Amino acid sequence: MRGLAFTAMLFCMGAAALLVGGIELYENIDARMNGRAALMQLADAGKKVTIPEGGYDVHLIDVKYVGAEGEVRVPQKRLTGDIARKLARGEKIPVTYMRNDPSRVMYAGDALPNPWGWLVVGAALMGAFVYARRLMLAEAG
């Protein structure tokens, strides 16, 4: 019975690692296919925006991304206090936005996830599962 539990655990851990690696691989592919470099700025530069200090430091602000493909307006973009204050001062922030979901952005310091570790660990665990299953079947019969 312990062999069955161990084999099932190998399968579950391998499947979970492959799932996490697959999700990260999808995020990488999506960012490469749909990511567009642009500058984020206030949607209406003439409008005065006041960002309150303290409290819940997430703010909804109308922004636009200006890049090589033109302008993309994003109403009520959720921003952290630091980014919102920079925009309120008139700064332009370099971002990579996703063409298929403009509310999702990557800032200059952000890095894409590395799926290869998860995928290698998942493949190794699935290999160990197959081997353990064969041993279990050979022992049974």
- Encode pLDDT of 8-59 as tens digits: 999 999 999 999 999 999 999 999 999 999 999 998 887 888 777 776 788 8
Q: What pTM was computed for the model?
A: 0.78
Number of domains the chain is built from: 1
- What is the residue type of 107? Y
- What is the residue type of 95? V
What are the structure tokens assigned to 41, written together? 């700025």
- What is the residue type of 83? I
Q: ∠63-30-57 over CA atoms, to 5°?
A: 35
Q: Which of 44, 8, 2, 15 is nearest to 133 (CA)?
A: 8
Sign of the CA dihedral 9, 11, 17, 23?
Answer: negative
Mean predicted confidence (pLDDT) in 79-104: 91
- Encode pLDDT of 104-121 as tens digits: 999 988 899 999 999 999
User: What is the extent of the structural domain holding 108?
Assistant: 2-140
CA–CA gap between residue 50 and residue 60 (Å, rounded): 11
First to last CA, the chain: 15
H/E element, 47: none
Please report where in the chains the tokens 């990557």 appear, as a residue: 106
